[in-house]
């Protein structure tokens, strides 16, 4: 009976979504199967290269700075040029820059190319999120975002364990493997995904004319409620980023190997793979304010528990606590962002939202490196508890009288599916 209920929940969770969503989902899964740089950059710099935690934090922060620089530009490109060309350009350039990073030797070169990787890898996010909002019905978006997040963590769970073992023998192989799989994603997008940018009633693409955009960046900045969500997203991102920054440094200092860290962080992905679908079914139609408040508290205090971790299983237990926060927070917050975004400005709104994570990726490594080197790890973990509390209070205050429905400046129907161009030949 229990297995039958699980099968029914799984069937209901994946039914009714368009074919284009599943190709986008597949691209996400492949991309995350190759995740290496973001996960192991800190260990690569501190253990393999012998740099300090502060220098590692600086390099990872430059990676985040690249994301800050590209978020808004990619958001504008997503609205003006389209989702598909932006996604193709981002993935192809990411493959090149990640491969290049693996061959860098000089500290300045490593820092410069890390900045480039941050720019290219982050540029695809507004396009992916806007395309998903385009092709999925409003009532299915929380479920679709949850399934996409499930794919991210399914790939991450597999890659974290494998990449941890690979890192013990060759970090270069990890860089090249990520580059190859990112290139596969670009090919898949080229062959299978049509443009999805919404069209106005006359058939013209929305916001195609840069001289008179329906929704400019100034509109986004003046949207007080949305910018409040962006600010709270930044606080939560500061907390979650410690799983890739503070946690590996703390475990390395405690004598654990890259493989140990890979196993512990893989628990994050595995738990999401197991729980994301049933939890999403439970939260799909519940009050988003309460969900975001609870997730913020779980995230903050889940990381705070790391201060008391000793054996490997204790680190894994803390990961389980803040992973539950991720499961609730991610689809809820992404659904809220779409709900507050006008159709003709989805790319720009998604770009601004993506920038909150990118800025956190810039600030969090600097914060973690400084706090660990100057005060010790316990102060870092205590700070995450404080950030989680502040974010929870902010969500509670900001989301009072949340408007029903979603803005709609133009038709939200997906653009007509044009025939895909023929694939380029090998000679091309």
Residues 220, 125: contact at Cβ < 8 Å? no
CATH at 59: 1.20.1250.20
pLDDT (0 to 100) of residue 302:
93
Tell me the HSE value of 247 on the side-chain side, using a 13 A CA sphere: 34
Residues 354, 126: contact at Cβ < 8 Å? yes
pLDDT (0 to 100) of residue 426:
30
pLDDT bucket at 6, cuts 50 / 70 / 90: low
Give mean pLDDT, residues 269-296: 82
| 98 in any annotated domain | yes
List of residues 6+ apart from 119 with CB closer than 8 A: 66, 67, 69, 70, 97
Find tokens 């001289």 and name the residue: 211
The SS3 of residue 420 is coil
Query: In whole numbers, what is the pLDDT of the chain averaged over residues?
Result: 79
| 407 in any annotated domain | no
When divided into structural domains, the chain yields a total of 1
- Which is more confidently placed, 161 or 402? 161
Residues 155, 30: contact at Cβ < 8 Å? yes
Report the alpha-carbon distance of residue 137 to residue 406 in Å, rounded: 12
Residues 406, 340: contact at Cβ < 8 Å? yes
Report the alpha-carbon distance of residue 238 to residue 232 in Å, rounded: 10
Find tokens 């695809």 and name the residue: 124
- Which is more confidently placed, 298 or 378? 298
248 to 57, 163, 235, 322, 368: CA distances (angstroms): 12, 14, 20, 16, 11
| 292 in any annotated domain | yes
Say which range, 61-75, 93-107, 176-190, 411-425, has the weakest mean pLDDT: 411-425
Tell me the HSE value of 209 on the side-chain side, using a 13 A CA sphere: 5
Residues 301, 415: contact at Cβ < 8 Å? no
Containing domain of residue 127, as a range? 16-198+217-398
Tell me how many degrees the CA angle 32-261-305 measures, rounded to the nearest 5.
105
| pLDDT digit string, tens, across residues 182-241 | 999 889 888 888 887 776 545 455 444 443 445 677 778 888 888 988 999 999 999 998
| 413 in any annotated domain | no
| 212 in any annotated domain | no
Say whether pLDDT at 160 is over 80: no
| pLDDT digit string, tens, across residues 313-371 | 999 999 999 999 988 888 888 888 888 888 777 788 888 888 888 788 778 877 887 88
Query: pTM, whole model, 2 decimals?
Result: 0.67
Report the alpha-carbon distance of residue 170 to residue 185 in Å, rounded: 24
| 425 in any annotated domain | no
Report the alpha-carbon distance of residue 124 to residue 86 in Å, rounded: 7
DSSP 199: B
List of residues 6+ apart from 348 with CB closer than 8 A: 72, 75, 76, 78, 79, 215, 216, 217, 219, 220
**Burial, 355: exposed, middle or buried (Cβ in 10 Å; 0-12, 13-18, 19+)?**
buried
Give mean pLDDT, residues 128-141: 84
| 144 in any annotated domain | yes
The tokens describing 385, both together, are 């508890």
| pLDDT digit string, tens, across residues 237-261 | 999 989 888 898 888 888 888 778 8
Report the alpha-carbon distance of residue 242 to residue 260 in Å, rounded: 17
| 121 in any annotated domain | yes
Residues 46, 171: contact at Cβ < 8 Å? no
The tokens describing 319, both together, are 């990961």
Q: How many residues does the chain have?
A: 428
């Amino acid at each position: 009976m229990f297995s039958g209920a699980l099968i029914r929940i799984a069937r209901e969770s994946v039914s009714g979504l368009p074919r284009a969503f599943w190709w986008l989902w597949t691209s996400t899964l492949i991309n995350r199967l190759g995740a290496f740089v973001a996960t192991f950059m800190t260990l690569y710099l501190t253990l393999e290269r012998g740099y300090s935690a502060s220098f590692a934090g600086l390099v990872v922060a430059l990676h985040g700075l690249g994301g800050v620089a590209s978020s808004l530009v990619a958001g504008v490109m997503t609205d003006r040029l389209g989702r598909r060309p932006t996604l193709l350009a981002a993935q192809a350039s990411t493959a090149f820059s990640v491969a290049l990073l693996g061959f860098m030797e000089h500290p300045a070169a490593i820092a410069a190319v890390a900045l480039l990787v941050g720019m290219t890898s982050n540029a695809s996010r507004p396009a992916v999120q806007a395309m998903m909002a385009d092709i999925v019905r409003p009532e299915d978006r929380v479920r679709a975002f949850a399934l996409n997040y499930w794919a991210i963590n399914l790939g991450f769970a597999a890659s974290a364990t494998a990449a941890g073992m690979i890192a013990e023998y060759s970090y270069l192989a990890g860089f090249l493997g990520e580059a190859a799989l990112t290139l596969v994603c670009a090919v898949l997008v080229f062959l299978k995904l049509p443009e999805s940018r919404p069209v106005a009633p006359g058939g013209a693409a929305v916001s195609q004319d840069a001289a008179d955009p329906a929704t400019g960046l100034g509109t986004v900045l003046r949207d007080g409620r949305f910018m409040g969500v962006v600010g709270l997203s930044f606080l939560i991102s500061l907390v979650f980023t410690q799983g890739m920054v503070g946690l590996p440094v703390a475990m390395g200092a405690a004598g654990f190997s890259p493989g140990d860290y890979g196993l512990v962080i893989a628990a994050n992905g595995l738990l999401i793979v197991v729980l994301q679908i049933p939890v999403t079914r439970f939260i799909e139609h519940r009050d988003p304010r309460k969900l975001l408040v609870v997730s913020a508290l779980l995230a903050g205090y889940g990381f705070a528990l790391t201060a008391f971790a000793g054996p490997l299983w204790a680190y894994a237990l803390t990961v389980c606590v803040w992973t539950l926060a991720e499961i609730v927070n991610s689809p809820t917050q992404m659904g809220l962002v779409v709900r507050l975004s006008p159709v003709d400005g989805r790319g720009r709104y998604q770009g601004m939202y993506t920038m909150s994570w990118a800025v956190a990726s810039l600030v969090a490594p600097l914060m973690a490196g400084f706090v660990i080197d100057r005060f010790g790890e316990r102060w870092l973990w205590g700070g995450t508890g404080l950030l989680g509390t502040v974010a929870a209070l902010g969500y509670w205050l900001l989301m009072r009288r949340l408007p029903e429905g979603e803005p709609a400046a133009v038709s939200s129907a997906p653009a007509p599916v044009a025939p895909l161009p023929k694939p380029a030949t090998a000679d091309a």
